[in-house]
Amino acid sequence: MSIYLAILCAMLSSPDWSVRENATALLDASPDFVAHALAQSEDLEIRSRAVRSLDARRVAGIRRLLDANRPVPWIDALPPEWPSRREIIDEFVRQTDDMLLSPDFYFQPGWPKYRLAMQLYLYTLTVEEARKVLSVCPKYKYWNGSCWVPWVSGVPEECFDREGD
């Protein structure tokens, strides 16, 4: 493996852009431990490409986790004892509000902003941390006539995405 790392390092630090891009594709197809090793490199080009590769793997892992756990829970479904819960909710709801003001952002109809805030929060975590968040948060809420309530099973789809989240 050390010969592979040496060749990959040489390619990643090549003055030729196309060689670096090909090496990045090889890096992306390599096991995680290769990217972790190269992320410690003293060479800025090698380190930045390795860090981007690791981040892309983390984001892909979160995306797969979200796809397997639809619908995404509301961010205020974080348990009351969750560390920095109030700050997390406030920050990611603020980020969501900022996104919604952008003319370039498409907001899916029926996608409550608190779900979007949770999704933004999950993308800042590792896959293991995101899995933990999703395991402790109820997935659904429904309107009981006076307030939103966590739900276990059997709520019709039209109850999920009402105004008032």
The larger pLDDT score, comparing residue 103 to residue 65, is at: 65
Computed on alpha carbons and rounded to an integer, the radius of gyration of the chain in Å comes to 21
Question: If you average pLDDT over every residue of the chain, what do you get?
Answer: 81
Given a cut of 70, whether residue 148 has pLDDT beyond it is no
Mean pLDDT of 2-9: 89
pLDDT reported for residue 135? 84
Q: What is this structure's pTM?
A: 0.66
pLDDT reported for residue 134? 85
How far apart, in whole angstroms, are the C-alpha atoms of residue 14 and residue 133? Answer: 41
Q: What is the pLDDT of residues 65-93, one digit of tens each?
A: 888 776 788 888 888 889 999 999 999 99
How far apart, in whole angstroms, are the C-alpha atoms of residue 114 and residue 91? Answer: 11
Mean pLDDT of 44-61: 92
Q: Kindly report the backbone phi and psi dihedral angles of residue 72, in degrees, each rounded to the nearest multiple of 5, phi listed first.
A: -70, 135
According to DSSP H, which parts of the chain are helical? 2-12, 17-29, 32-38, 44-68, 85-101, 113-122, 127-136
Residue 149 pLDDT class (50, 70, 90 cuts): low
Residue 141 pLDDT class (50, 70, 90 cuts): low
Mean pLDDT of 118-139: 87
Domains of the chain: 2-67 (1.25.10), 70-138 (no CATH)
Percent of the chain's residues with pLDDT above 90: 41
pLDDT reported for residue 157? 44
Given a cut of 70, whether residue 105 has pLDDT beyond it is no
pLDDT reported for residue 154? 42
Given a cut of 70, whether residue 26 has pLDDT beyond it is yes
